Structure 1
Amino acid sequence: MIYGALEDLPRYRGFCRSLDVLIDWLAENDPASLDVGSHAILGDKVFANVMAPTTRPEEGAHYETHRRYHDLQIDVEGRESFKVSQGETTLVEPFNEADDFELVDAVNGIAGDLDKGRFAIFVANEPHMPTLEFPGDGAAPVKKICFKLIADEFFDE
């Protein structure tokens, strides 16, 4: 996981080719202006999934993983917490190749939040649990963007 202030994202130029594309796009575009839905930035290599969910309690939630994509997540309205697992996981829902998605459970995790212009990059194969209730807020609406960034090993496909 990479976690920080969105204004500092250019420090991570060179992490992967798709992140470099997104950094350039963000320099010229306001992500908060995107409507709910999917928006191509560079075809299926870099795109934005804009969602308007309600945050959820951690109880009953599972970690998700992706094999082809890194997720860079930001909140443009509201705020949320997230967790990243540490250690071993237990399969809950098998990998769905079409959706690049698998669900797992884990005993240990570390928490963070998306508030005040923060971002989190959950790297491919890193179990993460987004859209959790922010401490003290309870269930609350949030407008968030999950930028999908194809991993370098798949960039030229």
Structure 2
Amino acid sequence: MVLDKLANASRYTSMHPLFEQAFRFLQESDLMALPIGQRAIVGRDLFAIISEGKGIPEQDAKLEVHRKYIDIQYVISGTDHMGWKDLAQCSPPNDPYTEERDAAFFPDKTSNWFDVPAGSFTIFYPDDAHAAMATEDTVRKVVLKIAVG
């Protein structure tokens, strides 16, 4: 898991062949003007999901993992309150993985909470169980989905 500011994105471009293109999308797009929904960047290998909405209470946040995609979650406005837990420390999922949604959900709660303010991003790999939008803020964000392999 990574938490950093977009200004430092160049530190991470060597971590995956599509990260440079992903960060370039964040740096060069007018993210406030993009419509809510999915936007292809490199077909199904790299795409963006733009969303905006009010968060949920921390106790209602669900830990999730993905197998096919790495998430880069970039906060455009507001502050997203996120949680993290090592997948190896999680109980068996209470909502098992399905390929269609590329997600499994866990009953675990985490004590590892942190704020992601506007201008910052997280990177979650398939072994990073994460919970997002545990905030009272209205948050506009982009989740970049990058194919693992």
Same fold (TM over 0.5): yes
Structure 2 portions without partners, runs of 5+: none
Match of 2:69 in 1: 69
Equivalent of residue 91 in structure 1, options 84, 90, 93: 93
What is residue 128 of structure 1 aligned with on the other side? 130
Among 144, 147, 150, the residue aligned to 2:147: 150
**Aligned amino acid, residue 39 of structure 1:** R
> What residue in structure 1 maps to residue 48 of structure 2?
48
Larger mean CA deviation between 6-15 and 86-95 belongs to: 86-95
CA contact (8 A) 2:71 2:144 kept: yes
Give the C-alpha shift of residue 107 in structure 1. Answer: 4.7
Give the corresponding residue for 1:136.
none
Report the CA distance between 1:53 and its aligned residue: 2.1
Q: Are residues 107 and 28 of structure 1, via their aligned partners in 2, closer, same or farther at CA, if it must alter by over 3 Å?
A: closer
User: Which residue number corresponds to residue 25 of structure 1?
Assistant: 25
Q: Deviations over 1:38-66 (max 9, x none)?
A: 01111111111011121111113210110
1:6 paired residue number: 6
For residues 81 and 27 of structure 1, do their structure 2 counterparts lie closer, same or farther at Cα, with a shift above 3 Å needed? closer
User: Separation in 2 of the partners of 1:28 and 1:85?
Assistant: 32
Q: Aligned-residue CA RMSD in angstroms?
A: 1.6
Whole-angstrom CA distance in 2 between matches of 1:27 and 1:74: 11
Give the letter aligned to residue 125 of structure 1: D
* Cα 1:31–1:113 shift into 2, 3 Å: same
Instruction: State whether structure 2 residue 138 is matched by structure 1 residue 141.
Output: yes
Q: Find the counterpart in structure 1 of residue 57 from structure 2.
A: 57
**CA-to-aligned-CA distance 1:83-121 (integer Å, 9 cap, x gap):** 001423331101010110110132544122111411101
TM-score by length of 2: 0.89
User: How many Å apart are 1:122 and its aligned residue?
Assistant: 0.8
When the two structures are superposed, what TM-score results if normalisation uses the length of structure 1? Answer: 0.85
Count residues with an aligned counterpart: 147
